[in-house]
């Protein structure tokens, strides 16, 4: 069995997220990832997934693999990366999110545009429902839903005060088999271990939380048999020869987790 290296960025927003730059369209996302020798990404817009298929289409014919995903905001206002293997799994999860998303209209002047685009980046529609808001899904229920669909549930930027797990919940629920945690780009692994001792018990990824093309980090490195959710889980556990490492953009030496 020949394992392959994957350099990844698992937290990327498109122009569907009102906080994302207008340049965050499928062809530029794909181009930027490839220019930085990143070959595995995840698209994770806020509570929505309308542009995921367009990015997957834009990446066709290239070496870039795209995981379908969402950045969910739970009832407790915790942000979570919810990643899947297929658009069908994502669609099933999106249906659940839609049922639990408050019926609020987006205020473009205050929050920004929520554009739905095609694979070339051309405008298709505007998402009218406000996406930057908490859903009625609790952290525990969201974890169960993602897991039941075969997905990967990673609490996002856990060290941040805004929408971070430690600020809003205070701890990682010990009864949930969380596979990994995400750090923001503004903290090192060593700092996280010191400030949040519980993080020593989990694999830590670090993402750019990409809202602008300049935000790509690509510091998460996986050794996998194939780019699948099951393989990522094996890598986080260090099982069957799969490995995960994070090389920090903050000039840390390569940190094996």
Q: Enumerate the domain spans of the chain.
A: 4-256
Backbone φ and ψ for 143, nearest 5 degrees, come out as: -60, -45
The model's pTM is 0.95
Distance (Å, whole) CA 155 – CA 159: 10
**Torsional class of 36: left (φ above 0), alpha (ψ -120 to 50), beta (otherwise):** alpha
pLDDT in tens, 159-185: 999 999 999 999 999 999 999 999 999
pLDDT surpasses 80 at 110: yes
**Average pLDDT over the chain, rounded to an integer:** 95
Handedness of CA 33, 45, 165, 167 (dihedral sign): positive
Q: Say if residue 44 is exposed, middle or buried (CB neighbours under 10 Å; 0-12, 13-18, 19+).
A: buried
Count CA atoms closer than 13 A to 191's CA, side-chain side.
13
Q: Are 67 and 41 in contact (CB under 8 A)?
A: yes
Strand partners, 6: 222
- What does the pLDDT average to over 141-151? 98
End-to-end CA distance of the chain: 23
The percent of residues above 90 in pLDDT, for the chain, comes to: 95
| DSSP run (H or E) holding 148 | helix 139-148
pLDDT in tens, 185-243: 999 999 999 999 999 999 999 999 999 999 999 999 999 999 999 999 999 999 999 99
Q: Are 241 and 97 in contact (CB under 8 A)?
A: no
Assign 247 a pLDDT band (cuts: 50, 70, 90).
Answer: confident
> In CATH, what class is 4-256?
alpha beta
Instruction: Return all residues near 161 (Cβ < 8 A) that are at least 6 apart.
Output: 167
Q: How far is CA 196 from CA 7, 165, 227, 241, in A?
A: 26, 11, 30, 29
């Amino acid at each position: 069995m020949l394992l392959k290296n994957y350099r990844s960025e698992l937290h990327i927003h498109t122009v569907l997220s009102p906080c994302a730059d207008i340049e965050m369209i499928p062809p530029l996302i794909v181009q930027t990832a490839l220019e930085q020798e990143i070959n595995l990404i995840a698209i994770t817009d806020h509570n929505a997934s309308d542009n995921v298929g367009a990015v997957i289409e834009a990446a066709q014919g290239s070496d870039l693999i795209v995981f379908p995903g969402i950045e969910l905001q739970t009832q407790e206002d915790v942000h979570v990366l919810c990643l899947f293997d297929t658009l069908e799994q994502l669609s099933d999860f999106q249906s659940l999110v839609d049922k639990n998303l408050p019926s609020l209209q987006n205020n473009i002047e205050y929050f920004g545009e929520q554009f739905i685009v095609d694979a070339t980046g051309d405008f298709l529609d505007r998402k009218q429902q406000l996406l930057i808001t908490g859903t009625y899904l609790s952290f525990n229920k969201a974890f169960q839903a993602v897991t039941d669909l075969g997905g990967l549930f990673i609490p996002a930027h856990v060290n941040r005060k805004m929408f971070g797990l430690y600020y809003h919940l205070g701890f990682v629920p010990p009864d949930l088999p969380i596979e990994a945690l995400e750090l923001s780009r503004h903290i090192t692994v060593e700092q996280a271990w010191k400030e949040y001792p519980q993080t020593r018990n989990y694999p830590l990824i670090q993402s750019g939380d990409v809202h602008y093309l300049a935000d790509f980090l690509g510091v998460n490195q996986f050794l996998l048999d194939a780019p699948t959710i099951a393989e990522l889980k094996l890598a986080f556990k260090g099982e069957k020869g799969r490995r995960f490492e994070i090389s920090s953009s903050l000039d840390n030496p390569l940190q094996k987790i």
